[in-house]
Amino acid sequence: MYSITSDITHRLDENKKRPAAIENALTKLTEFQKKINDLNKSMPWVNETHKTPALNEIEKLREWIAEKTKLQVEKPKYEDPVFTVGTLEYKVKDIKESYINLKNIKKPKEAKKVFFFFFFFFFFFFF
């Protein structure tokens, strides 16, 4: 008896939480996309080749949300959900980690002036 009611309760909870979770996820995706595009202002060494995979991941997740939402609308409410709020939150967390990885790209070190050092050393040592 408990498992039957717990399944019903689970579906009911998911049905209540899903619209807010989708709206929240889409808002976060928009924020991450804006932050990734604005990285050039604060971190000019992060170029498009670094940003493209993260931006593609955001677009794939948007498409996944649209597809799964469409399937969920078509599915009867007494069946298990197509996706759970937890799955959606996990996927958004992956996007956040991609953004953090981009943000953690360190500035490349400048090339040392080796020529000047050798010239100075040669001049000092031999003269």
Nearest to 87 by CA among 102, 105, 72, 75: 72
Tokens of 101: 């990885």
pLDDT at 101: 92
Tokens of 104: 């953690």
C-alpha distances (whole Å) from 32 to each of 29, 35, 68, 96, 118 are 5, 5, 21, 7, 47
pLDDT-derived band of residue 119, with 50, 70 and 90 as boundaries?
low
Q: Say yes or no to pLDDT of 3 above 90.
A: no
pLDDT at 95: 95
